[in-house]
Amino acid sequence: MTRIALWVLGALLLGGIVHLSTVLAMPTAATLDAYSRLSQRTPVNAVVPLPAASGQDATMPFMDPAFAVAVCRYDLSAGTLKLHAPLSQAYTSVTFYTRNSVAYYAINDRAAGRRAIDLDLMTPEQRAQVPEEEDVTAADRLIIESPTQSGLIVLRALAPEPSLMAMARRALANAQCRIEPLPTQ
Amino acid sequence: MRLFVSSCLTLILAAAIGLGATWLTLTRGVAFGAMTVGAWTAWPKTGSVDIDPYARATIARTGALPIGVGDGVAFFARTDDAGNALDGRCTFLVSGATPAARYWTVTLYDARGQLVANTIDRHGFTSAEVVRDTGGNVIITVAPRARPGNWLPSGGVEQFVLVWRLYDTPIGVASLTTKEGPMPIIVRTGCS
C-alpha cells in the first residue's frame, strides 16, 4: 500500500514538473502567436494597415473593432528604428510588443502631447552606443529600448463612431517606421 | 518486472497530470493579479512586462495581443452577475454607471475571441456613440433579435464573451483594488 502511495506521489511530482515546463516552453514553442500570424502577411520594418476585424477571419482574436489598426513588424539587427505616427482626432495609441507578445511599452496621444508620436526604438546595446552628448541635447527625443531584437509595434486609432473609421484609417496611413542604419566605425 | 510496470505507469500518470494541468490552465485563461468587479475581470499585469508565465503561455497559444497598461485596461465577462453563462439565445441587460476613462468600448465576441456576424454589422459600442438615459447611465440590450435602444446582437451563439475596454484610464495602473469601479451590472432577463 505504502509502495503504491509512493509511486503516485512520484507521479504527482513529475506531473508538476511536466506542467511547469510546458507552460514555460509555450511562448517559444507556439506557432500561431501574433508575431507568427503577422509575419505571413506583413513585410519587416514597414507600417502595414490590418484589415477591419469582422466575422471569423480576424488576424488575431479579441481585436477591438472600434479601432483602425496598423502594424510595424520590426527587426533591429540592421540598425535602430524611427517611428512616426500622426495622431487622429479621437484617440491614438502605440503599443510595443516583444517577439513573444509581451507588451513592454505603450503610449497614447495625450502622453505624447504633440501632433504626432515620434520615437526611436533600439536594443540596449544600440542604446549604449548612442553618443552621450547627443542623448542630452535631444531632450525631447524619446528613446525606447526593445528587450528583443524583433517584435511588433501596434498603432491603434479610435473611430468613436463607425462613420469615422475612414478618418482613423487615414491618420494611420501616414504613419512610418524605418531603419536608420548603424553608423560604420 | 514489477518495477518496470510501476515505472511505466508512473510516467504515464505524470504525463497525464502535467499535460492535463497545462491544458486546463491555458484553456481557462488562468492568470495572476486578477481584478474582479461584479461579473467583470481584468488582468492589468498581462499588459506589462510583469506578465505571469500562465498569461504569457495563453497569449502565445491564442495569438492575442494584450492591451498595454499605458493604453488601457480590458475587463472580460463570461457570466452575468448571478453566475449564469452568457448564452446568445438569452436576453441580457448591461446597465449602470461606467468607470472613469477618456473613452471606453464594449465588444461582443464568441468564446474563441472572434466577432459574431450579424445583419446590422454591429459588434459593440463606444462611449461616444452609445445612447444614455437622462441620468447619464448606459443600458445595452444583448439579444439575438432586434431591440429598441442600444441593441447588441448576440447572433444566437452558444457562449459569448463581453469585453469592456477602458482607454486612458487611471484604473489598473495605480492599484489593484475593486473599489475603483463601478462597472455596469449584467442581468439575464429571459431566454427564448
Q: Are residues A108 and A166 in the same domain?
A: yes
Mean confidence (pLDDT) of chain B:
86
* Residue contact A7–B68, C-beta within 8 A: no
Q: Does B168 touch chain A (CB under 8 A)?
A: yes
Query: Does position A136 have pLDDT exceeding 80, yes or no?
Result: no
Phi and psi torsions of B120, nearest 5°: -95, 5
Using CB atoms, which residue from B18, B57, B129 is nearest to A27? B57
Within 8 A by CB and 6+ apart from B183, the residues are B37, B38, B39, B40, B75, B96, B98, B99, B164
Instruction: Give the model confidence (pLDDT) of B13-29 as tens digits.
Output: 888 888 888 888 887 76
Quote the pLDDT of residue A78. 87
Q: Are residues A112 and A50 in the same domain?
A: yes
Q: Are residues A46 and A18 in the same domain?
A: no
Instruction: Give ipTM to 2 decimals.
Output: 0.85
Using CB atoms, which residue from A26, A102, A154 is nearest to B61? A26
Number of domains making up chain A: 2
Q: Does A2 touch chain B (CB under 8 A)?
A: no
Phi and psi torsions of A107, nearest 5°: -140, 145
Instruction: Check if the beta carbon of residue B52 is closer than 8 Å to that of residue B108.
Output: no
Tally of CA atoms within 13 A in the half-sphere of B115 that contains its CB: 23
**B34-191, superfamily in CATH?**
Domain of unknown function DUF1214, C-terminal domain (2.60.120.600)
Q: Which domain holds residue A50?
A: 34-181
Domain boundaries, given as residue ranges, for chain B: 1-30, 34-191
Q: Are residues A49 and A6 in the same domain?
A: no
Order across the sheet with A150-158: list the strands. Answer: A47-49, A67-75, A150-158, A92-98, A103-108
Task: Return the CATH number at A89.
Answer: 2.60.40
* Residue contact B168–A108, C-beta within 8 A: yes
Q: Does B170 touch chain A (CB under 8 A)?
A: no
Cβ within 8 Å of A, B 16-35: 16-19, 21-22, 25-26
Quote the pLDDT of residue B99. 84
Q: In B, which residues are within 8 Å of A90 by CB distance?
A: 103, 128
Q: Are residues A43 and A130 in the same domain?
A: yes
Q: Are residues A138 and A177 in the same domain?
A: yes
Q: Are residues A7 and A82 in the same domain?
A: no
Q: Are residues A101 and A13 in the same domain?
A: no
Using CB atoms, which residue from A16, A36, A62 is nearest to B64? A62
Instruction: Give the model confidence (pLDDT) of A32-74 as tens digits.
Output: 888 888 888 889 999 999 887 665 667 888 999 999 999 999 9
